[in-house]
Amino acid sequence: MGEDRRGPLQRRLAAILIADVVGYSRLVEADENGTLAALGSLMTSSLRPVIAAHAGRVVKLMGDGLVAEFTSVVEAVSCAIAMQKSVASQQHLVDPKSKIVFRVGINLGDVVVDGDDILGDGVNVAARLEQLCPPGDVLISGAAYEHLGGKIDATIEYAGEQRLKNITRPIKAYHLPLSGSKFAVSNLSRSTGPTIAVLPFENMGGDPEQTYFSDGITEDIIIELARFTELMVIARTSSFALGGRTGDLREIGHILGADYVVEGSVRRAGHRIRIAVQLVETKGGTHRWAERYDASIENIFSTQEQIARSIVAMVAQRVIDDNELTSRRRRPEDMRAYDLFLQGNRLSDDFRPGAQERAEALFESAAKADPTFARAHTGLAYIYLNRASEGGLGIPRERDDNRIKALRSAETAFALDPSDPRVQCTLGYICLTWRDFKRAEHHLDLAKSMNPNDATILILWAGMQGALGRPVKGLAGAEVAYRLNPLHPSWYNYYKSRLLFLAERYGEAATLLEQRTFDTPEREPRDMAWRAASYGHLGRIDDAEKCGKIFLDAIRTRWCGASTAGPADYVNWLVDVSYLNNEHDVLRLREGLRLAGLPG
């Protein structure tokens, strides 16, 4: 018997592009020589040069298609767009019966290296997406989409969760309709109660600079609706992603898994506002309810409550009693503060140069205009916390001015308005970053009980469960958050990856962490450390050591603590800011890091 000398399998993360000719068998049957000649010409003049220009590698040709590998998702998607445009241009005058058209599928995933070939789940997902893709278009996985971040100048439409052959988990898909075609969206899993999506209300004031106000009104209505346990309310991130999309509201409801869609408009004139709202049942496109509200801006909160009550009355078929509204937010005494807060809130997730500073200035102005307005202080709390997380590596929290100010702002907000669930959530989360686990649990539990359908509260609550040694409970909460926010931001996976690791599901944790760190691993040192630990527990020691080195190099260049610090100090810092209260979890993390060659 011959001896197998191949050694252990090599793995790596890659962006995989698979292209295939539509109706290849039919084309060959009709004109074999002509089809093969045309395809060979396209490979030589278009496909291979475009792939090379985008730093890709042709892994293999398959007669009717190809597999290519890239180190960047942006390059892979840009290449696919260029390929499709080039092929369409060259085939423009060809008889439609003989025309060569490609489908393209792209995935970011783990691959097994077999000589010059690549195999494994990452390739399989790309192949299945290619098979679903409309002719002339591109279909990409959710894992790949999260790395685009607005870097591609093309229309990208959410295509729902797909059940792919021989892939056990559902895969989010995104469609680039280069040919102008529509994608037949598969429905999401259904919840037991009615699900509502509130699309961003149209700004009818004529000034596009006032869009922040109509967006803020919409978000507050979402928050109001999320208080009611009878409903599932789709989160802002997902519903706003489909705002302005032309087409049938039934299709939008289908994509988001929503039984009802709320849409409307806001017109602001001086101190008066007019809000028009309508409720549409997505199954049949039936308009169930519509109303117009004229109010002064000082009464905007009451108007939002009226809208929420009316929607609940129609959907849940019951009247809301005043006594049920136990967690009403405190109204600002000066409505200028609310306006300034909405402007700042619109910038709070923008990390381009100067955006956080502008948001901070607006929140400070809101707090100055009305010192009793709690939400201005929650906005500031997150500004300070983000600054500490990015720029305070190694500084003990009790000496970190930004962490101190974050806690102080959250406590101020709580003192002003404990009835606001987002205030409770903010204080709970910041207490967690101070390793005050008792207060963190108290306030995050309260926030969740006050607003059980708020996806932001749920994902932070889920992360806290992991910190307290309850990862299975946390994963259950995270799944609800994902259901409420199907187009969730990529930072959700920060918490889910930790929960998977703590539940000893190291392979799944590693996959999420690979996706989060694929393009810029050096910018995510915390993720790289957890990725190293995951690989360590999986026995992938070479990969673990590579990630461990990236972690050390990244921390070394950004370290703000003692100048004498070394690798052991960096690991101790990482464990500290992982906020684990269960000693068993701490030891498991340290063991994974030790297996990666880091000081345990």
CA-to-CA dists, residue 330 to 204, 223, 419, 420, 423, angstroms: 28, 14, 7, 8, 11
Distance CA 139, CA 236 (A): 24
Return the pLDDT at 217.
87
pLDDT at site 316: 66
pLDDT at 190 over 60: no
Q: What is the pLDDT of residue 1?
A: 41
Distances in Å between the Cα of 183 and the Cα atoms of 16, 176, 180, 504 are 21, 9, 10, 37
Q: 183: alpha, beta or left, given left = phi > 0 and alpha = psi -120 to 50?
A: beta
User: What does the alpha-carbon distance between residue 328 and residue 578 come to, in Å, rounded to a whole number?
Assistant: 34
pLDDT at 330: 67
Q: Which of 59-63, 190-194, 560-564 has the lowest mean pLDDT?
A: 190-194
Number of residues in the chain: 600
More confident residue, 255 or 129: 129
The larger pLDDT score, comparing residue 146 to residue 535, is at: 535
Please say whether the beta carbons of 442 and 219 come within 8 A. no
Q: Does 102 or 166 have the greater pLDDT score? A: 102
CA angle, 40 then 45 then 49, to 5°: 115
What is the pLDDT, as a whole number, of residue 255?
Answer: 81
Taking the C-alpha atoms of residue 82 and residue 60, their distance in angstroms, rounded to an integer, is 19
CB–CB of 134/183 below 8 Å? yes
pLDDT-derived band at 530, boundaries 50, 70, 90: very high
Domains observed in the chain? 10-176 (3.30.70.1230), 195-324 (3.40.50.10070), 332-450 (1.25.40.10), 457-600 (1.25.40.10)
pLDDT digits (tens, 9 = 90+) for 92-115: 888 888 889 999 999 999 898 888
> What's the mean per-residue pLDDT of the chain?
88
pLDDT per residue as tens digits for the range 214-236: 898 888 888 888 877 778 889 88
Task: Provide the pLDDT for residue 324.
Answer: 41
Could you tell me the pTM of the whole model? 0.74
